[in-house]
Amino acid sequence: MSHEQPSDAVLIDAIRAGDDAALSALLARHAPTVMRFATKMCRNEADAEDVLQDTLLAAARGVRDLRGGAAVSTWLYSVARSYCIKKRRKSKHAPDAIVPLDAPESAALAATIDEPDDAASQREIGVALDAALRSLDDTSREVVVLRDVEGLSAAETAEVLGTSVEAVKSRLHRARSELRARLAAYSSEVVPTTPSDPACPDIVDVLSRHLEGDVGREACAAMEAHVATCRSCSAACDSLRHALQLCGTSGRTVSPDAAVRVRRAVEKVVASAR
């Protein structure tokens, strides 16, 4: 007996036919992603839960109208982002819930961030990454979260943000550099934020563009040759790779408490849609 899950397209067809179970399945599939994204963008769980509820309601009302090859996940990121922006506008005079990089917990994180094989350290690393993400401005944070945390392509990220791929990449390179510098504050290792030699290229920008496939073979070879002989640029490259690795391996699940809230939100939305 096959246990293959139906595709989003199959579920949408069933929803159009009035199948409540299909709606519940579709929302349950994507709700954790929405919650995770909203938590990172809103910077507090109460607002994130409101965004989750609003996004699921919008999905329940609008999913029947999705046509062609429209991806449900990309659409939901766009909807959730719009609600996050509304939340920020409503609370623009409230103090930010940003954890300063010199907060007391930073010292404790510095002692553990370089121990990736230890389970407790992994939790602390996740806290460090969340704090570093929260310290970015909204534009930088959303492009890093979508591209490097959630794993969307540059084209998908551009679709969510309503901009061009070129604009996404420009924002991304700057945001990655900022994130790397902020994460370095949590590390016990001294990581240079600027080249030691004025003649050094902006190696972090070059590496970021290389990772996006925008650096030619000759330029790539020149970068590798320089990094092989420049200690500060080598350290900068390593710290950027480490930051992106943290982005890619953290936040792909929600906490047990958040999972309960996600399930309740799905149940409430499905019940209201009947």
How far is 230 from 210, CA to CA, in rounded Å?
18
DSSP state for residue 202 in the 8-state scheme: -
Of 243, 240, 207, 239, the C-alpha closest to 223 is: 207
Helix (H, G, I), strand (E, B) or coil at 5: coil
Q: What is the pLDDT of residue 107?
A: 41
DSSP-assigned states of every residue in 177-196:
HHHHHHHHTT-SS---SS-S
User: What confidence tens digit (pLDDT) does each residue in 155-212 have?
Assistant: 999 999 999 999 999 999 999 999 998 887 765 544 555 555 677 889 999 999 999 9
Instruction: Tell me, yes or no, whether 43 lies in a domain.
Output: yes
Q: What is the pLDDT of residue 50?
A: 94
Q: What is the pLDDT of residue 98?
A: 38
Instruction: Tell me, yes or no, whether 3 lies in a domain.
Output: no
How far is 42 from 88, CA to CA, in rounded Å?
7
How far is 193 from 191, CA to CA, in rounded Å?
6
Matching residue, tokens 């809230």: 261
Work out how many domains the chain is built from and give that number.
1
Residue 12 is part of which domain span?
8-273
How far is 206 from 152, CA to CA, in rounded Å?
21
Instruction: Tell me, yes or no, whether 72 lies in a domain.
Output: yes
How far is 178 from 4, CA to CA, in rounded Å?
42
Instruction: Tell me, yes or no, whether 191 lies in a domain.
Output: yes
- For the segment 131-144, the average pLDDT, to the nearest whole number, is 93
- For the segment 142-164, the average pLDDT, to the nearest whole number, is 95
How far is 144 from 150, CA to CA, in rounded Å?
9
Instruction: Tell me, yes or no, whether 17 lies in a domain.
Output: yes
Neighbours of 47 (CB within 10 A): 21
Residue 45 pLDDT class (50, 70, 90 cuts): confident
- Per-residue pLDDT at 97 exceeds 90: no
Write the CB contacts of 221 (distance below 8 Å, at least 6 apart in sequence).
Answer: none
Instruction: Tell me, yes or no, whether 145 lies in a domain.
Output: yes
Instruction: Tell me, yes or no, whether 1 lies in a domain.
Output: no
User: What confidence tens digit (pLDDT) does each residue in 211-263 have?
Assistant: 999 999 999 999 999 999 998 899 889 999 989 998 988 766 777 888 898 99
- For the segment 43-49, the average pLDDT, to the nearest whole number, is 87
Is the pTM higher than 0.85? The answer reads: no
Instruction: Tell me, yes or no, whether 53 lies in a domain.
Output: yes
Classify burial at 125, counting beta carbons within 10 Å of its beta carbon; exposed 0-12, middle 13-18, buried 19 or more: buried
Residues 38, 265: contact at Cβ < 8 Å? Answer: no
